[in-house]
Amino acid sequence: MLAKKVEKILNEQIVKEGYSSNLYLAMASWADTEGYAGIAKWLFAQAEEELMHMMKFVHFINERGGHAIVPAFEQPPAKFEGIKKLFNQVLEHEQYISGSINDIVALVIKENDYATHNWIQWFVTEQIEEESSVQNIIDKLNLLGDKNMYMFDRDIMSIRESGE
């Protein structure tokens, strides 16, 4: 059975994961309309992953005797100021999400909730991977400068798949 405080913070994470999904979906849609098909594909895949993260929270809360609440989501921006800025925004957002996962870890330790502590470790690992994969993309973009965006767009999915 989840303590009320734990149920509350996990429900707050549903809002954050759902917003992440919508944010990346908005970025994907923008990139698509700008002609960046590869970058859009990467972002669409990212949006789906975030949806899966949100679902994990929904199921876990209910399995542990709580009630997962489906919230309204704030509307994400529709326009972005270029590819580099967009990926910097993704990184900042992931760092913010990592911070909120850490807050959950801190609370469940305080509440002696070792079941949730055990479960949330998947997200701790996932955040390390997400931050590093976005950082990797930013590094590649910095190497390229402002040229060769065509090649970057063409290659981004292979960067993802090779886990470079």
Shortest Å, Cβ 56 to ligand FEO: 9
CB nearer ligand FEO, residue 35 or residue 74: 74
CB nearer ligand FEO, residue 154 or residue 160: 160
Shortest Å, Cβ 147 to ligand FEO: 29
Residues within the interface to ligand FEO (CB under 6 A): 17, 20, 50, 53, 94, 97, 130
Per DSSP, 163 falls in state T
Shortest Å, Cβ 21 to ligand FEO: 8
Q: How far apart are CA 33 and CA 137, in angstroms?
A: 21
Q: H-helix or E-strand containing 119? A: helix 114-144
Shortest Å, Cβ 43 to ligand FEO: 12
CB nearer ligand FEO, residue 97 or residue 120: 97
42: Cα within 13 Å, side-chain hemisphere: 24
Which residue's CB comes closest to ligand FEO? 53
Angle between helices 4-33 and 37-63 (to 10 degrees): 160
Residues 6+ apart with CB under 8 A from 106: none
